[in-house]
């Protein structure tokens, strides 16, 4: 890699001195950041297309990738090659997160008949790299996923088909955990909803509850799998009503009262004035854990690449200040097809980890103390002061230490890969 543009070590020493004045231990912050896993979503690499053997691979369910940047991965091999390229520039512990439609079999396998061995190439990849493997049922992009719904469908044949899919996925999750040695986090998201507000809003929700109950009951022997239940405010084509609303999903998780069933909060899934950062303490009052889908919503659930913006930082500040970072499963979920897809991963996941570091490099105990004493003036002074603290110098040092590229060093490498590999696809 090209030489650093400045003396990174010197910058780190200076920053260390700055933070020490506030009693902040830079090295322990680096250690925490490095050891906190981020689950890297595979679907940024191919616009959520998947690797099922079928004609129509169009994306449905009210989510969309926009853009047509050349070089998208065409199969599992290419996708893993691209993930490996991105991982060269992403520091810290990573898990790989795949969807059921990233199956690799010789023929089309129906979603309710998928088996662990259909994912062995992903398992081998994870094991070779010492990483955990997370999973997601794919309740969308399928002829039986229509505006009639999936797990909430009134047609019993369709509903039970998707229940069987959920069951198969939990068994596959257990297999992943066994093979990799890391627990498998599964996220359940259904696109079910209505363009208009339904006359009967309750029945679909009762059926969704019944479906989740059936999935968990049928697989209650499954071990080392954690299940996130993801809510959403609306999707394209289902603007008025979402069966798995926030209240529904939170209600389901709390009522289930099982360690492995937790809420998934995707920060693209709320009204613009609602923030995930502000919801976390409410969730943790009643639940021991949470699954995060870190994304960036522009006006809607647009799934832009994660930015180092206020809400991203606020989410990690909340987790650090509550002492819940190690109780949180952090996963990324965005899909931008308008830029180099490897750069999208690198920018978004680096930003996620950078926000984590920025949150750890704050006088959190001091600010809590000031708040307790009612010194709200000093609290604001500290908060504002640390927005411009030199955490980037610590970040650069961390990237150098882990050999993941300081600053924009990764960019020319990714451009080279685009020229040598992506442009030839």
Of 48, 158, 330, 399, which one interacts with ligand RNT (CB under 6 A)? 48
Of 15, 63, 361, 399, which one interacts with ligand RNT (CB under 6 A)? 63
Asked if 47 touches ligand RNT (CB under 6 A), the answer is no
CB of 123 to ligand RNT, least distance (A): 20
Residue nearest to ligand RNT (CB): 189
Of 44, 60, 78, 136, which one interacts with ligand RNT (CB under 6 A)? 136
| 293 in catalytic set | yes
Three-state SS annotation for the chain = CCCCCCCHHHHHHHHHHHHHCCCCCHHHHHHHHHHCCEEEEHHHHCCCCCCCCCCCCCCCCCCCCCCCCCCCCCCHHHHHHHHHHHHCCCCCCEEEEEEHHHCCCCCCCCHHHCCHHHHHHHHHHHHHCCCCEEEECCCCCCCCCECCECCCCCCHHHHHHHHHHHHHHHHHHHHHHHHHCCCEEEEECCCCEECCCCCCCHHHHHHHHHHHHHHHHHCCCCCCEEEEEECCCCECCECCEECCCHHHHHHHHHHHCCCCEEEEEECCCCCCCCCCCCCHHHHHHHCCCEEEEECEEECEEEEECCCCCHHHHHHHHHHHHHCCHHHEEEEECCCCCCCCHHHHHHHHHHHHHHHHHHHHCCCHHHHHHHHHCCCHHHHHHHHHHHHHCCHHHHHHHHHHHCCCCCCCHHHHHHHHHHHHCHHHC
Residue 135 or 410: which CB sits closer to ligand RNT?
A: 135
Residue 49 or 92: which CB sits closer to ligand RNT?
A: 49
Of 134, 227, 266, 400, which one interacts with ligand RNT (CB under 6 A)? 266
Asked if 301 touches ligand RNT (CB under 6 A), the answer is yes
Residue 139, Cβ density class (10 Å: 0-12 exposed, 13-18 middle, ≥19 buried): buried
Of 52, 333, 413, 418, which one interacts with ligand RNT (CB under 6 A)? 333
| 230 in catalytic set | yes
Q: How far is CA 306 from the centre of its chain?
A: 10
Which listed residue (303, 317, 318, 336) is catalytic? 303
Which listed residue (41, 232, 279, 313) is catalytic? 232
Asked if 232 touches ligand RNT (CB under 6 A), the answer is yes
Which listed residue (46, 227, 230, 318) is catalytic? 230
284 binds, among Zn ion, ligand RNT, none (CB under 5 to 8 A by kind): none
Asked if 413 touches ligand RNT (CB under 6 A), the answer is no
Residue 266 or 318: which CB sits closer to ligand RNT?
A: 266
336 binds, among ligand RNT, Zn ion, none (CB under 5 to 8 A by kind): none
Which listed residue (165, 260, 293, 404) is catalytic? 293
Of 102, 162, 189, 345, which one interacts with ligand RNT (CB under 6 A)? 189
Q: Which two tokens stand for residue 399?
A: 């990237």
Binding site for Zn ion (CB under 5 A): 266, 293, 333
Which listed residue (99, 246, 269, 404) is catalytic? 269
CB of 137 to ligand RNT, least distance (A): 9
Place of tokens 């992903």: 122
Of 43, 161, 391, 410, which one interacts with ligand RNT (CB under 6 A)? 43
CB of 62 to ligand RNT, least distance (A): 7
CB of 227 to ligand RNT, least distance (A): 13
| 34 in catalytic set | no
| 189 in catalytic set | yes
- Phi, psi for residue 124 in degrees, rounded to 5: -60, -45
Residue 43 or 316: which CB sits closer to ligand RNT?
A: 43
Residues involved in catalysis: 189, 230, 232, 266, 269, 293, 301, 303, 333
User: What does the binding site for ligand RNT look like in residue numbers (CB under 6 A)?
Assistant: 43, 48, 63, 136, 189, 230, 232, 266, 293, 301, 333
């Amino acid at each position: 890699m090209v030489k650093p543009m400045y003396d990174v070590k010197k910058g780190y020493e200076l920053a260390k001195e700055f933070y020490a004045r506030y009693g902040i231990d830079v090295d322990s912050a680096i250690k925490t950041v490095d050891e906190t896993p981020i689950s890297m979503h595979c679907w940024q690499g191919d616009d959520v297309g998947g690797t099922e053997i079928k004609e129509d691979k169009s994306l449905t369910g009210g989510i969309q990738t926009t853009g047509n940047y050349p070089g998208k991965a065409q199969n599992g091999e290419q996708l893993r090659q691209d993930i490996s390229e991105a991982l060269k520039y992403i520091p810290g512990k990573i898990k790989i997160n795949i969807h059921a439609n990233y199956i690799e079999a010789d023929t089309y396998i129906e979603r309710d008949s998928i088996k662990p061995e259909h994912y062995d190439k992903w398992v081998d990849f994870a094991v070779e790299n010492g990483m955990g493997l997370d999973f997601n049922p794919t309740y969308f992009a399928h002829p039986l996923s229509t505006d009639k719904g999936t797990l909430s469908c009134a047609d019993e044949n369709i509903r039970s088909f998707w229940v069987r899919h959920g069951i198969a996925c939990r068994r596959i999750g257990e297999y992943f955990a066994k093979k990799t040695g890391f627990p498998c986090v599964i996220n359940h998201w259904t696109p079910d909803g209505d363009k208009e507000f339904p006359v009967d809003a309750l029945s679909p929700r009762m059926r969704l509850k019944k479906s989740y109950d059936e999935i968990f009951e049928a697989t209650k022997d499954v071990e080392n799998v954690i299940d996130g239940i993801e809510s959403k405010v609306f999707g394209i084509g289902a603007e008025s009503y979402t069966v798995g609303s926030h209240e529904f999903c939170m209600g389901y998780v709390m009522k289930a009262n099982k360690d492995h069933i937790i809420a998934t909060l995707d920060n693209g899934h709320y009204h613009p004035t609602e923030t995930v950062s502000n919801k976390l303490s409410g969730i943790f009052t009643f639940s021991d854990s949470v699954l995060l889908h870190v994304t960036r919503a522009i006006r809607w659930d647009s799934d832009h690449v994660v930015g180092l913006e206020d809400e991203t930082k606020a989410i990690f500040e909340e987790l650090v200040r509550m002492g819940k970072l190690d109780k949180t499963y952090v996963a990324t979920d965005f899909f931008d097809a308008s830029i180099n897809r490897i750069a999208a991963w690198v920018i978004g996941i680096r930003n996620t980890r950078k926000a984590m570091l920025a949150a750890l490099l704050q006088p959190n105990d001091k600010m809590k103390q000031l708040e307790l004493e009612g010194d709200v003036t000093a609290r604001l002074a500290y908060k504002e002061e640390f927005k411009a603290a030199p955490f980037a110098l610590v970040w650069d040092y961390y990237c150098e230490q882990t050999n993941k590229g300081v600053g924009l060093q990764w960019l020319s490498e990714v451009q080279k890969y685009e020229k040598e590999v992506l442009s030839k696809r």
